[in-house]
Amino acid sequence: MQLYENIRNRRNELKMTQTELALKTGYSDKSMIAKIEKGTVDLPISKIDEFAKALHISPGDLMGNPEKKSPTILLEASETPKHTQAIRIPVLGDVAAGIPIEAVEDIIDYEEIPAELAEQGQFFGLRIKGDSMEPRICEGDVVIVRKQEDADTGDIVIACVNGDSATCKRLIKYPDQIVLMPLNNKYDPIIFTMEDVKNTPLTIIGKVVELRGKL
């Protein structure tokens, strides 16, 4: 399966041993990592985020194409590259569909991102409300978002449903439906048929490219 090959390739790219990856993902020894990489043991969906965090890559890229040249890296704040020109972007407390990001007045803070990243599009920060994306993304955390109107399946996105305030969810696309998937299994996925999408406006505001967790 592509996911397991991607785990192996990314681990090798980082020069990380199977033992190190096991410790980072809650396994007692490297034997389980070896089985996962061979595809002889299924990896629960709940574990994908742990592996993505350990391998410093987004869940969507971990599940996607290993030949992709520029994977989306999820960095903790302490891991932000040093000695690079930084660009300040606003952190917003609330976003609604149809309102241009530059027009939102609810700026609660600012974050810095590398200039190289800023060149890739328009970015803003968003402070997370609620626990639907725990344990990976917690209430009060700040996510760095690249403004875009669409995203790939598996990406974590900021979306608005029926014009309401933004929600952070994983985007899953099927031929006949779109799903906004929480990471916290206490919550049910939000499922839209193609007919639902026509009748209930679903707007993708942007893709989460970085997580800056609170202390």
Give the residue numbers marked as catalytic: 132, 169
Q: How far apart are CA 140 and CA 17, in angstroms?
A: 33
- Please enumerate in sequence order all residues whose Cβ is within 8 A of that of 62, keeping only pairs 6 or more positions apart, or say none: 3, 6, 7, 10, 48, 51, 52, 55
Q: How far apart are CA 141 and CA 213, in angstroms?
A: 5
β-pairing verdict for 123-127 and 107-114:
unpaired
- Please enumerate in sequence order all residues whose Cβ is within 8 A of that of 5, keeping only pairs 6 or more positions apart, or say none: 37, 66
In 3D space, the residue among 151, 91, 149, 84 whose CA is nearest the CA of residue 119 turns out to be 84
- Please enumerate in sequence order all residues whose Cβ is within 8 A of that of 182, keeping only pairs 6 or more positions apart, or say none: 132, 133, 169, 170, 188, 189
CA 143 to the chain's CA centroid: 9
Side chain identity at 172, as an amino acid letter? I
Q: How far apart are CA 123 and CA 121, in angstroms?
A: 6
Looking at the DSSP bridge assignments, the partners of residue 188 are none
